[in-house]
Amino acid sequence: MNKVKFSELVHWTPKQKEADEAVKNYKYILYGGAAGGGKSYWLRWELLKQLLRFYAHDKLKGVMVGLFCEDYPALRDRHLSKIKFEFPEWLGSYSSVDHNFTLAKEFGSGILAFRNLDDVSKYLSAEFAIQAVDELTKNPKETFDFLRSRLRWTGVSNTKFLAGTNPGGIGMQWVKKIWIDKEFGIEEKEQEKFFFIPAKVEDNPYIDKSYILSLDSLPEKLRKAYKEGNWDTFEGQFFTEWDRQVHVVKPFKIPETWKKYRTIDVGGHNGITCCYWCAVDYDGQVWVYREHYQTGMDSDEHARKITELSEGENIEYTVIDSSAFDKIGLPETTAEIYLRNGVQGLVTCSKKRVMGWDFMHQYLRWDKDHEPRMKFFEGCINAIKTIPMLIHDDKHPEDVDTRGLDHSGDAIRYILQTLRDTSTPKPMTYLERRFKEIKENKESYNFNY
């Protein structure tokens, strides 16, 4: 059997070697964070190295590892088009039928499976000793959660999940939260096993200088994302106006004469419901000064909490998601539950999403001579985190991709649309609207509050 000296097969950069060392000590490893750091190359060769190790050290044959991309075109362009030039013929063979690279028998017949994530449910019965996802932020967290459930192989006690990515994409929020900010849910039992290795184009000596010049030529925000690995700005960012230094302020006492409003985006028990309290000053500037952002609560619990947080304040009215007025076969609408639990003065939000986002762009816009017309108190943590992470919808770029955490953005959009709506009278309160419907339709309705 041929002896394989891995260093003769692969020519890793110092940063890629650092990532390889991290595989020994951590289970969930994210590599990259900027363009040109050699993410894709590291992922496929790291998987091959681990397959060779399974046989050489543990005498395990036929072990399967998986390398995933968000869809087949990405898989083809990033990996399948490369392996026929990179992987030597004596090492194994690639099948274009099942997209597997199988090591030669003398190396254990391990399988590097190239797969796409357009429908993760097709891997329900699959098992992988190691999984690697290229451009992890192209995927929702549900994809990561599902893949973790398929991370197992008989005889392999130390399974691994590897990933490479740039900032941006529908999954940027959750990836940044876990690997960059180290914020985990209470259900996470492996917090200490997550590790991030940042890599930039300067860490890759094999990159042509012309590529670096092209990165330097990008607009400032894209340059910060792709060359510097800045997670606060990225390609596809919907609100490119956002700047934490400009839009976030320390709390101060709101003057009693400023008008106050609430805006609510509702979710089910397992979804996210958020409410924001907004004050408008004498110049029409909007100050978002309080946040309620929770999951795992029923509508009446959210309503009571919002009522409690509003105690002693004079709220002009409360804009709420129009879906709150839908009956959908239930005895009460969500709006009626909120009313019954103290959230009064409800008005329905506009359904004109694109117009709402346009208003939000206008209120966030600023330059060196003009302050933005909307600012957030630093206690509105989730709004500050999620609004700058919203991205354009691929098919409708003038709209937000709803697969991201858009709850805070939606709530702010509701209030801005209502404040700016000068073409029609102010919406009626919900009770006014229902009483009007009852009168016109001669309904019998019991408001049992």
DSSP bridge pairs for 290 = 277
Strand 28-32 to 160-165 pairing: parallel
- The token pair at 166 is 């740039």
CB contact at 8 A, 90 and 104:
yes
Q: How far apart are CA 409 and CA 411, in angstroms?
A: 6
Neighbouring CB atoms inside 10 A of 431's CB total 16
Residue 445: band (very low, low, confident or very high) from pLDDT cuts 50, 70, 90: very low
How is residue 396 written in tokens? 């409708």
Q: Say if strands 374-377 and 286-295 run parallel, antiparallel, or are unpaired.
A: parallel
Residue 132 pairs with which residues in a beta bridge?
67, 162
CB 449: neighbour CB atoms within 10 A?
9
Report yes or no on whether pTM surpasses 0.75.
no
With contact defined as beta carbons under 8 Å apart, do 343 and 306 qualify? Answer: yes
Query: Are the CB atoms for 103 and 91 separated by under 8 Å?
Result: yes
Once rounded to an integer, what is the mean pLDDT over residues 207-226? Answer: 72
Q: From the CB of residue 2, how many other CB atoms can be counted at a distance below 10 Å?
A: 9
Cβ 168 vs Cβ 137: under 8 Å? yes
pLDDT in tens, 154-190: 999 999 999 999 887 888 889 998 998 898 988 999 9
Band the pLDDT of 122: cuts 50, 70, 90: very high
Question: Which phi and psi (to 5°) does residue 365 adopt?
Answer: -65, 140
* Cα atoms found within 13 Å of the Cα of residue 408, Cβ hemisphere only: 21
Please compute the mean of the pLDDT values over residues 367-380 and round it to a whole number: 93
Nearest to 431 by CA among 315, 346, 308, 361: 346
The tens digit of pLDDT for each residue in 333-358 reads 999 999 999 999 999 988 889 999 99
**pLDDT tier at 8, thresholds 50, 70, 90:** confident
Considering the chain, what percentage of its residues have pLDDT values greater than 70?
Answer: 90
For 31, 66, 174, 189, the CA distances from 151, given in Å and listed in that order, are 19, 10, 20, 15
CA distance 49 to 367: 51
Least confident of 71-85, 129-143, 210-224, 416-430: 416-430
For β-strands 100-103 and 92-95, DSSP reports them as antiparallel
Provide the 10 A C-beta neighbour count for residue 326: 12
Kindly indicate the confidence band of residue 427, based on its pLDDT and cuts at 50, 70 and 90. very low
Amino acid 40: pLDDT: 92
pLDDT at 221: 66
Position 440 scores a pLDDT of 62
Distance CA 211, CA 380 (A): 39
81 contact partners, CB below 8 Å, separation of at least 6: none
Q: What distances in angstroms separate CA 398 from CA 238, 270, 361, 414, one per listed residue?
A: 9, 29, 11, 17
What domains lie within the chain, and their CATH numbers?
6-226 (3.40.50.300), 244-441 (3.30.420.280)
Computed over every residue of the chain, the mean pLDDT equals 87
- Average pLDDT (284-307) is 95
